């Protein structure tokens, strides 16, 4: 039972609300044991006379992860923060969180706001619980909203369920910038209160929610120089670009200087990040984009920009020296004209981000779809190698906290900038999806999840009805 008190603070509100709470009554602070030493003593120091009024409840009110605690603490829900409620002076403790979920696949109409999603429990001692400050949208969110990859992703989520359970309610959102709230016993690299960023794998519950759990390996400390809103624009596209460029393209900081790289489709999320990454590694970067994105891509460092809408893209590119690596984020027919642009018989690589793997398994089932994709890839690989002496590869997103550590260093040294095209408050997630659906991205669309960031995004939307173009 929850005793009658003036305020209850959970570990997730300690930094934001408890420190600024100016009430005079009795206060209860519910926390996990390992969190106690750091934050409890911080609280005592922070407010004079606070210690006498402060009780630590560790046993009598269970953690919000426990069922009993969840039930008891739901009684405090009237204090719970919601993007739709007014801002309150302190945040109540609760076992459920706000999130945007889908309960079926479909159009934007399937997006549903709810405050009834249980706060996720740590799935293992190597996991962390994060408070999400900002998230961002990727084309994958649109595709997943419509059911893309459903079969393969569900197999990854529940390998032993054999179709017995479904994935709903499903939370989308692949990027997170936020704060560590709780660390499993085996987490060594992070502490509660650390500011972090990560790309949430598509087989996990996403970041369009107040909280998300991730493994220690998937998380990285956020760049100091970025706000949460800016930081949330980077992790998923960075993880994809790095995986594609390093694992499939064979590039890295040491081998890239003076290599000629072509990025097909450079004005969106992956492209704007890749230009900067490659320039930081010393590559010569040529890109294709539409004419009105030329200023953006050149500003990010592209050496040559070719307007793909001009009608003579191929001729223009053919007149240039051959490339060592092509990163294709457009797919389809591009590979027909792009492959001859590679330097033959010299280990050059064509890396496509647009692969049929997930759609094949959706349409043909896991086994047949997987086999067909495997056959298509090996066939293309062999053909391209034998006929042109170039390697043909698919690039995929891969969760990689250490890779984000590398990106953090580049961001903090000013070599990589966030490219935030539009930002939406948490109340306007459907509008953010519509923005993405309209296409022609110029960088990233960010969703500010916390109340403070949401208010800022709301204010900026009012000031500038057209989506705000921020950096670079
Ligand atoms: N395999 C993976 O694991 C993986 C991971 C991440 C992304 N992806 C895929 O990679 C692609 C790019 O992702 P993203 O996040 O960068 O998408 P995005 O932010 O939507 O950007 C796409 C960009 O391409 C431009 N574009 C469209 N058609 C073009 C063309 N024919 N030539 C040159 N540019 C063109 C668009 O602008 P305009 O239309 O105005 O030209 C837009 O700026 C998507 O298809 C995504 O699904 C795959």
Say whether pLDDT at 257 is over 80. yes
- As a residue count, the chain comes to 472
Ligand 1 binding pocket includes 330 (Cβ within 6 Å)? yes
Tell me the pLDDT tens digit for each residue of 106-143. 999 999 999 999 999 999 999 999 999 999 999 999 99
Query: What is the average pLDDT across 260-274?
Result: 98
Query: What is the average pLDDT across 436-460?
Result: 83
Q: How much distance in Å is there from the Cα of 288 to the middle of ligand 1? A: 11
Ligand 1 binding pocket includes 458 (Cβ within 6 Å)? no
Predicted TM-score (pTM) of this structure: 0.80
What's residue 362's pLDDT? 73
CA distance 125 to 36: 18
Ligand 1 binding pocket includes 290 (Cβ within 6 Å)? yes
Say whether pLDDT at 200 is over 60. yes
For the chain, the domains span 7-79, 98-224+429-437+444-463, 237-394
The answer to which of 56-60, 92-96, 272-276 has the lowest mean pLDDT is: 56-60
What's residue 400's pLDDT? 96
3-state class of 130 per DSSP?
Answer: strand
Q: Which atom of ligand 1 is nearest to the CA of 143?
A: 47
Residue 87 burial class via C-beta count within 10 angstroms: exposed 0-12, middle 13-18, buried 19 and up: exposed
pLDDT category at 19 given cuts 50, 70, 90 is very low
Give percent of the chain with pLDDT exceeding 90: 64
Say whether pLDDT at 270 is over 90. yes
Bridge-based pairing of strands 127-137 and 444-448 is: antiparallel
What's residue 65's pLDDT? 27
CA distance 230 to 390: 37
pLDDT category at 190 given cuts 50, 70, 90 is very high
Ligand 1 binding pocket includes 132 (Cβ within 6 Å)? no
More confidently predicted of 466 and 138 = 138
Taking residue 380's Cβ as centre, other Cβ atoms within 10 Å add up to 17
Residues linked to residue 286 through DSSP beta bridges, in sequence order: 262, 304
Say whether pLDDT at 58 is over 50. no
* Topology alike, domains 98-224+429-437+444-463 and 237-394: no
Say whether pLDDT at 317 is over 70. yes
Ligand 1 binding pocket includes 267 (Cβ within 6 Å)? yes
Q: How much distance in Å is there from the Cα of 195 to the middle of ligand 1? A: 29
What's residue 436's pLDDT? 98
What DSSP state is assigned to residue 126?
Answer: T
98-224+429-437+444-463: CATH number = 3.90.180.10
More confidently predicted of 462 and 150 = 150
Query: What is the average pLDDT across 450-465?
Result: 56
Please tell me the residue having the least CA distance from ligand 1 atom 25: 265
Q: Strand (E) positions, 284-390?
A: 284-289, 304-307, 325-328, 349-352
Q: How much distance in Å is there from the Cα of 470 to the middle of ligand 1? A: 19
pLDDT category at 67 given cuts 50, 70, 90 is very low
The answer to which of 188-192, 282-286, 375-379 has the lowest mean pLDDT is: 375-379
237-394: CATH number = 3.40.50.720
The side-by-side arrangement of strands in the sheet containing 54-57 is 7-9, 27-30, 54-57
Q: How much distance in Å is there from the Cα of 16 to the middle of ligand 1? A: 37
Ligand 1 binding pocket includes 272 (Cβ within 6 Å)? no
Say whether pLDDT at 224 is over 90. yes
Spell out the alpha helix ranges (H) of 146-193. Answer: 150-157
Query: What is the average pLDDT across 96-113?
Result: 98
Sign of CA dihedral 381, 382, 388, 390: positive
Query: What is the average pLDDT across 65-81?
Result: 31
Please tell me the residue having the least CA distance from ligand 1 atom 26: 265
Q: Are 41 and 51 in contact (CB under 8 A)?
A: no
What's residue 365's pLDDT? 78
What's residue 342's pLDDT? 96
Counting ligand 1 atoms within 8 A of each CB, the residue from 139, 152, 236 with the most, and so the one to mutate, is 139
């Amino acid at each position: 039972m929850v005793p009658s008190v003036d305020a209850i603070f959970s570990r997730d509100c300690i930094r934001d609300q408890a420190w600024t709470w100016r009430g005079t009554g009795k206060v209860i602070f519910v926390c996990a044991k390992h969190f106690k030493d750091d934050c409890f003593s911080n609280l005592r120091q922070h407010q004079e006379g606070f210690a006498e009024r402060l009780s630590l409840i560790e046993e009598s009110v269970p953690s919000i992860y426990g069922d009993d605690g969840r039930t008891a603490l739901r009684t405090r829900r009237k204090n719970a923060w919601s993007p739709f409620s007014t801002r309150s002076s302190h945040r109540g403790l609760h076992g459920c969180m706000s999130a945007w979920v889908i309960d079926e696949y479909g159009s934007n109409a399937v997006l549903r706001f709810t405050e009834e999603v249980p706060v996720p429990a740590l799935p293992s001692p190597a996991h962390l619980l994060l408070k999400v400050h900002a998230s961002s949208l990727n084309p994958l969110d649109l595709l997943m909203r419509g059911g893309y990859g459903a079969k393969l992703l569900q197999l990854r989520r529940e390998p032993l369920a054999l179709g017995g359970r479904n994935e709903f309610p499903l939370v989308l959102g692949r990027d997170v910038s936020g704060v560590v709230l709780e660390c499993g016993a085996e987490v060594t690299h992070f502490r509660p209160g650390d500011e972090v960023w990560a790309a949430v794998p598509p087989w996990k519950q996403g970041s369009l929610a107040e909280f998300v759990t991730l493994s220690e390996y998937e998380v990285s400390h956020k760049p100091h120089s970025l706000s949460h809103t800016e930081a949330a624009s980077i992790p998923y596209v960075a993880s994809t670009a790095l995986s594609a460029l390093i694992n499939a393209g064979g590039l890295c900081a040491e081998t890239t200087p003076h290599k000629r790289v072509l990025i097909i489709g450079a004005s969106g999320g992956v492209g704007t990040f890749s230009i900067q990454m490659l320039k930081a590694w010393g590559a010569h970067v040529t890109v294709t984009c539409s004419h009105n994105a030329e200023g953006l891509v050149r500003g990010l460092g592209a050496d040559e920009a070719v307007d793909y809408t001009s009608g003579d893209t191929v001729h223009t590119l053919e007149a240039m020296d051959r490339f060592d690596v092509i990163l294709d984020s457009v797919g389809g027919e591009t590979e027909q004209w792009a492959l001859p642009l590679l330097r033959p018989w010299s280990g050059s690589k064509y890396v496509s981000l647009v692969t049929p793997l997930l759609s094949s398994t959706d349409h043909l089932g896991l086994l047949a779809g997987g086999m067909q994709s495997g056959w298509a890839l090996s066939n293309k690989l062999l053909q391209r190698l034998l006929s042109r002496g170039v390697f043909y590869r698919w690039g995929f997103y891969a969760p990689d906290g250490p890779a984000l550590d590398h990106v953090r260093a580049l961001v903090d040294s000013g070599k990589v900038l966030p490219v935030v095209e539009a930002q939406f408050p948490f109340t306007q997630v459907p509008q953010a999806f519509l923005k993405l659906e309209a296409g022609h991205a110029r960088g990233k669309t960010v969703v500010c999840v916390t109340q403070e960031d949401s208010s800022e995004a709301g204010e900026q939307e009012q000031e500038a009805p057209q989506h705000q173009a921020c950096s670079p």
